[in-house]
Structure 1
Amino acid sequence: MIGALAFATQAPAAGAGPPAAVTTPAAPPVLYDWFEYTGRDRAFDAPLPDGHFRNPILAGFHSDPSIVAARGKFYLVHSTFTYFPGIPVFESEDLVHWTQVGNAIHRPDQLDFDGLGLSRGVFAPAIEYHEGVFYVVNTAVDNGGNFIVTARDPAGPWSDPVWLPEIGGIDPSLFFDDDGRAYLLNNDEPEGPPRYDGHRAIWLQAFDLDTLQPFGPREVLVDGGVKPEENPIWIEGPHIYKVDGWYVLSNAEGGTGPQHSQVVLRSRDVWGPYIPYARNPILTQRDLPETRDLPVTNAGHADLVEGPDGRWWAVFLASRNYDVSHYNTGRETFLLPVTWEDGWPSILPPDAPVPYVLPAPSWMARPAEQAPMTGNFTWRDAFDAPTLERAWMFVRVPRHDWADLASHPGRLAIHPLPEGLDTLGNPSFLARRQQHLVFEASTALAAPATGIAAGMAAFQSGNHWYFLGMRRAGTGALELFVERATGVDRPVETLATQVVATATDMRLKIAGDEGRIAFAYATGDGDWQWLLRDADATVLSTERTGGFVGATLGPYARDER
């Protein structure tokens, strides 16, 4: 069996407690033969010129990127909130071709997300490397506060969290100075009472690498933002880089929505004072027309890295919208070059749109068309591997071993749990990111036993989702249905039903086209039959639902006995 321990392929770190006990639910399994996802976005249609790459470099919900260069490669981490395994670790040689090698949160006993809303949990990780050790600092919002995990190998195992109880706020990061001293930065409330909603400060404190704890005086580096007289909001996501003797402090500002931006300050001393750049912000999309074609919005939360040729690059989050403000693919990871002028970095000129295609890093050896996480592609999982593909996630940490690749080789067996998609625990739903505005997701499965509803879900939060499912009718026939949830305290709707003669094998399909979504079925090898077309896909939009995640898709089964 796999499931709660599906991704815990590395041995636990020394001193880690035993894995949480798991049991197999008694519900009869639902057997899935394969799952396939295809994306067809217009933004990716144009041929890619030689020596160029596409944005975003990681399509779909990969928010709050942080990057480090180490051992001749680059490593990238992202927020996953209450999805598990958490904080994926990606590896690349050229900043364009990325492969996930592990997760910083990969054991069930590292963190507990039960009872948390989907957009709580782990926020904005920051990764650094120093003298053979990788460090990820992070905030477990509503379930512990700030913590640090470490590893010798970015693929894992990663340590248990070491908590930082004296540090409040969010978005911690580490800075290692030339003399070996380490410092912890983070966002927190200002020294006195906040003057307005969103008034925050960036703090700095020395950090002990032996105890993994901050020590000594804690000082404010930025109070409010780069123009405090304008009451700027949500200064956060701080990083320090030392370049030509300058300590360059880079921060997100304006909140992670349409007013998002990146600003920089610098000082000759790590403790400041820090002077803002006269040409801030160095990245934003807030001044562009809302009605522009193929808009990229929400740009900010950048982290900078130097390449082997001495040129700098920035990874940052942004969103690809439709109908002006909606986006189902969440906050994605983009890449742009950084230019330096008079010791100041800049990512994008004012009023310039984030480009979808641009020249690649000089050392990129492989064609960018082969990059696995961007462009239009088809991804298929035949469920014939011994463990789940890394693209799959659980909603919160599984407490039961309900996902099984061993008992029916070549098929995924889901042992249905009674929890619905609205649970604050772990439903028996395997989640894969929606990475395109226009997509199809399909699967083949055996008809479930009596008392079981099974199929696939399109999921944005516990209160916003679609379920294309089937169950046994009283006659032994199959009833196909589409359920929809559209908000807190609103009843789940059944939008369509269809009874078909009992079939051993079924295929199901969900097709999305920006703000519209459709649902189809087929018996055996028969043709697709539409069960529901032209339904409202803005139900799956982050703009409509709130929070910080994008939509996910995948197999879902529910014990209704």
Structure 2
Amino acid sequence: MKKNQVVLFPVLLALFVFTSCNAQKNIPVFSKVVYEGNDDIYNENPLKADEFYNPILQGTYPDPAIARKGNDYYLVASSFAMVPGVPIFHSNDLVNWVQIGHVLDRKTQLKVHDTGISASIYAPDIRYNPYNDTFYMIVTQFAGGFGNMVVKTKDPREGWSDPIKLDFQGIDPAIFFDDDGKAYVVHNDAPNKGEELYQGHRVIKIWEYDLEKDQVVPGTDKIIVNGGVDLSKKPIWIEAPHIYKKDGLYYLMCAEGGTGGWHSEVIFVSDNPMGPYEPAPSNPILTQRHFPGNRENKVDWVGHADLVVGPDDKYYGVFLGIRPNDKDRVNTGRETFILPVDWSGKFPVFENGLVPMEPTLKLPEGVEYKAGEGEFFPNGNFTYSEDFNSEKLDYRWIGLRGPREDFIEITKKGLKINPFEVNIKEVKPTSTLFHRQQHKDFSFTTTLEYKPKSEKELAGITAVQSEKFNYVFGVTRKDKKHFIVLERTEKGSSKILASKEIDFKEKIQLKVEAEGDDYKFSYALNGGDFENLGGTVSGDILSTNVA
């Protein structure tokens, strides 16, 4: 875990079942799930014929990295303790994206069963090596004894190898393949022992990498950046390094300033991959930290970027950023943005990355905007409906600490969730199926067929920031009567905000909705109108600011 740094996790909306008894014969069925987003920013900024929306991946898709092979682009993001791990997307134009799966989709690759929700998978890097026609995904896994590791494949659509544990400390590893076939790994690390100067002082280290042994070469490690651009200014958290080669020079791009309000992207140059590296005179090349906090359509905390040459032979950069709600709280997590990059001079600069960012971008020439059509990932305001009648579960549905397949069953009636004897506050695999919150203003509705047999059984919807901060809304039983309950958990301490006795046949509709920081939980009995339970509650515990 990164000490004294913002660990940001978003709101996850989930269909859940909790039990503390053997309830395998009483299994709830969920159907007719509808997620609907309706943000003002999209209503007030309708797309023109030559525009698309930024971010390109809404909701929690942080720490993006991107690789190119021919006309194919592959993008990955952090996944922490969610299962499967490391979502991977494909595009031919950098605008329209299709999720093709997850890189870490087997228990042999991902061991997060006993770790906190914001631990485990940090900052993946993906690269294609043309010399052996192989893709590499290198990442830090803070769980299962892995540490830094790498997986490989010839085809990202066909699955990835089991992990190879790498023999070095630190975080945020990235791999670089030079023109001569040699390979290198760079990463964030602590300064040499006894040389720590201040809190947040970190270094960037490089190693030679043996492609035959898939291991760093012992003794080749070297510190190439100490602290950041200007050590005298005590820069914090130099991290997320990537090396690029252009016009015979080697460029090292890193995030600097921590993951909060001082986040930025900086760049260095050298004539040798092992350094020494000199910072550009115009750093940072991307940041939003200098603008008023009350600016319209605020995008903040931008950084952790990666560069790629687009199909138009121009450079583009993907990076993370946040869009806080009306209370300046972060409930949708770190999202993936893209900007064109001007590299006409010696150093690259993100176009319009040093001025307040806009919600739309110009389409590259010849590209048609297809978001939300067919398999293309939706963008802007959209509605996603799920009846769970397909043999294969949509990739946007994820589990926590354990595979979805361990507790779900797709039936003719809908999705069965076989309950684990565990609740959302425990650091164990949970019988919960999650969907990201992707808008500030949204609703998430489902139909539940279930009649709990005891007060030890509970099923419904949970809105989760972590195991210590969440809302639980669902159906339970007490004294031979059924109740709908709303529970708030803050700092691990739970309180029932509201409960009501209900009389229903077999099915009940449940809904959570938000307008900015105001959340409401409602239910409908036997096909009737929705009725609110607990009034309007704050989204504070679902935000990074509080949780």
Could you say whether these structures have the same fold, taking a TM-score greater than 0.5 normalized by the shorter chain as the test?
Answer: yes
CA, structure 1 residues 105+212, in 2 after alignment: closer, same or farther (shift >3 Å)? same
Q: Which residue of 2 aligns with 1:459?
A: 464
Aligned residue pairs, count = 516
SS at match of 1:544: coil
Q: Which amino acid aligns with 2:101?
A: G
What's 1:87 paired with? Answer: 86
- Which structure has more RCO (C-alpha within 8 Å, separation ≥ 6)? 2
Q: Does 1:416 align with 2:430?
A: no
Q: In structure 2, what is the Cα distance between the partners aligned to 1:480 and 1:429?
A: 18
Provide the residue aligned with 2:294 in structure 1. 291
* 1:553 alignment partner in structure 2: none
SS in 2 for 1:43: helix
Pick which of 280-289 and 410-419 moved more: 410-419
On the 8 A contact 1:184/1:205 being kept in 2, the answer is yes
1:169 offset after TM fit, Å?
0.2
In structure 2, what residue type is equivalent to 1:139?
T
Q: CA distance change for structure 1 residues 135 and 351 in 2, over 3 Å: closer, same or farther?
A: closer
**Aligned-pair identity (%):** 38
Corresponding residue to 1:36 among 27, 34, 39: 34
| Paired residue secondary structure (1:44) | helix
Change (3 A) 1:150 1:410: farther
- 2:436 corresponds in structure 1 to 433
CA distance in 1, matches of 2:356, 2:418: 47
| CA displacement at 1:351 relative to structure 2 | 4.9
State the alpha-carbon separation in 1 of the partners of residues 370 and 501 from structure 2. Answer: 49
Secondary structure of 2:465's partner? strand
- Secondary structure at the aligned position of 1:391 is classed as coil
Query: Deviations for 1:441-471, whole angstroms, at most 9, x for unmatched residues?
Result: 0000113231321111111100111111012
| Correspondence for 2:18 | none
Gaps of 5+ in 2: 1-21
Structure 1 residue runs of 5 or longer lacking an equivalent are: 1-23, 546-561
**What are the equivalent positions in structure 2 for 1:13-412 lying under 5 Å apart?**
26-45=24-43, 46-131=45-130, 132-143=133-144, 144-165=146-167, 167-192=168-193, 193-215=195-217, 216-323=219-326, 325-348=328-351, 351-367=354-370, 370=373, 372-398=377-403, 401-405=406-410, 408-412=411-415
Q: Secondary structure at the match of 1:79?
A: coil
- Give how far 1:474 is off: 2.8
With over 3 angstroms needed to count, the CA separation of the structure-2 counterparts of 1:351 and 1:180, relative to structure 1, is: closer
TM-aligned CA distance change 1:367 to 1:161, over 3 Å? closer
**Cross-structure match for 1:511:** 513
Distance verdict in 2 for CA 1:89–1:349, change over 3 Å: closer
Residue 86 of structure 1, CA deviation: 0.2
- Whichever residue aligns with residue 62 of structure 1, its letter is Y
Structure 1 pair 460/478, CA: closer, same or farther in 2 (3 Å)? same
The code of the aligned residue for 2:59 comes to G
How many angstroms apart in 2 are the aligned matches of 1:344 and 1:210? 34
Cα offset for 1:117? 1.1
Within 2, Cα distance between the matches of 1:399 and 1:436? 24
1:508 maps to a residue whose letter is: L
Paired residue for 1:11? none
Q: Is the 8 A contact 1:291 1:324 kept in 2?
A: no
Q: Normalization by structure 1: what TM-score?
A: 0.89
Q: Aligned partner of 2:526: which letter?
A: G
Q: Distance in 2 between matches of 1:110 and 1:120?
A: 15
Pairwise CA distance, 1:415: 1.2
Matched residues in 1 for 2:244 and 2:382: separation?
36
DSSP 3-state at the match of 1:478: strand
- Measure how far apart 1:116 and its partner are: 1.2
Please state how far the C-alpha of 1:348 moved relative to its aligned partner.
4.3
What is the root-mean-square deviation of aligned Cα atoms in Å? 1.7
Q: Are the aligned partners of 2:28 and 2:416 in contact in 1 as well (CA < 8 Å)?
A: yes
SS in 1 for 2:253: strand
Indicate how the Cα distance of structure 1 residues 120 and 38 shifts in structure 2: closer, same or farther if over 3 A, else same: same
Instruction: Show CA shifts across 1:380-429 (max 9, x none).
Output: 11000112211111111249822111xx3241001111211011111111
- Cα 1:85–1:339 shift into 2, 3 Å: same
TM-score using structure 2 length: 0.91
Deviation, structure 1 residue 135: 0.5
The 3-state SS of whatever aligns with 2:420 is coil
Alpha-carbon distance in 2 for matches of 1:211, 1:318: 37
- The answer to whether structure 1 residue 494 and structure 2 residue 499 are counterparts is no
